[in-house]
Amino acid sequence: MSEIPTPQSSIAVFIDYENFPVGSNGSQDDIKLVFERLVDKGRITIKRAYCDWSRHENMKPILHELGVELIEIPDNSQKGKNSADIHLAVDALETCLAKEHIDTFAIFSGDSDFSPLVAKLKEYDKTVIGIGRKMGTASLLEGVCDEFIFYEDIVNKEKLPGPYPSYRSKVPKDKQKCYKLLFQTIDSLQSENDQAIYASQLKQTMKRKRPDFSETTYGYRSFTALLQEASRLGFIKIHKDEKTGTMVDGFRDE
């Protein structure tokens, strides 16, 4: 029986890079963590970053590799920052009006100047997620967003040991990457919504996190076979629904 496909949010990302230069240390790692946090919520369809890129040459190839469209805003003395803000706001509103399938907007900034933009997007029934640093985020912007995620919380969570089962002693080394991704994704999805997860939704999210993921690479004939093995090993709880197929209820208590 085929499983019912689960609807996924379509997300447009707009990065005020002058205000929030994520990844400016020359590494992909921190900005990838932010994108991975967003793909727990849906599929990212637009990624745009705005600034004078002559000041961030080291980041251009890194952002290009991550599929971010770089919007050049020349810094003409005091007008550069305002120009970037205006360009970002106009692009976001144009996207809102022209692309009805996009239902979620992620604004990377801590600047209160974007509060009117957020309010206008919400008027059009869009969900708005703000992402910024704790020390540089205006309370006005934080308050107007439907959700505000602090960059430090994303990074610090990655450094902490996961709340999921210890698998290394039971899982062969060549399958451990697969299990780590599986458990990270279950944890993320249940943090978003503490309900049973469709197997199809779980696999979609894993592939958004790691586009090259395939269960067959690890020797499983199907994704359901992977979930059944994880259940037999005592890691997760699953059940079969006549209408929706395999559902993941969460981790088993150790």
Strands 197-198 and 236-241: unpaired
Q: Is 218's pLDDT higher than 60?
A: yes
Which of these three, 140, 157, 174, is where a domain ends? 157
Domain assignment present for residue 17? The answer is yes
Q: What is the pTM of this model?
A: 0.75
Residue 80 lies in a domain: yes
Tell me how far apart the alpha carbons of residues 186 and 195 are, in angstroms, rounded to a whole number.
11
Range of the domain at 226: 163-251
For residue 77, being part of any structural domain is answered with: yes
- CB burial of 69-103 (b: ≥16 within 10 Å; e: otherwise) equals ebbebebeeeebbebbbebbbebbeebbeeeeebb
Do residues 92 and 204 share a domain? no
- pLDDT at site 225: 96
Q: Which residues pair with 132 in a beta bridge?
A: 150
221 compared with 252, residue with greater pLDDT: 221
Share of the chain above pLDDT 70, in %: 89
Taking only the tens place, the pLDDT of each residue in 123-173 is: 999 999 999 998 889 999 999 999 999 988 887 766 555 667 888 889 999
Q: How many structural domains is the chain composed of?
A: 2
Judge if 129 and 49 occupy the same domain: yes
Based on the domain organization, do 78 and 195 belong to the same domain?
no
Question: Per-residue pLDDT for 116 more than 70?
Answer: yes
Answer whether residue 1 shows pLDDT above 50: no
Mean pLDDT calculated for residue range 82-103: 94
Asked which of 135, 157, 179 is the last residue of a domain, the reply is 157
Q: Would you state the pLDDT for residue 27?
A: 53
Q: How confident is the model at residue 32 (pLDDT cuts 50, 70, 90)?
A: confident
Give the CATH number of the domain where residue 201 resides.
3.30.420
Pair 18, 133 in one domain: yes
Mean pLDDT of 14-26: 74
Q: Is residue 4 situated within a structural domain?
A: no
pLDDT given at position 40: 85
> What would the pLDDT profile of 96-115 be if each residue is shown by its tens digit?
999 999 999 999 999 999 99
CATH number reported for the structural domain that contains residue 81 in this entry? 3.40.50.1010
Q: Give pLDDT, residue 122.
A: 97
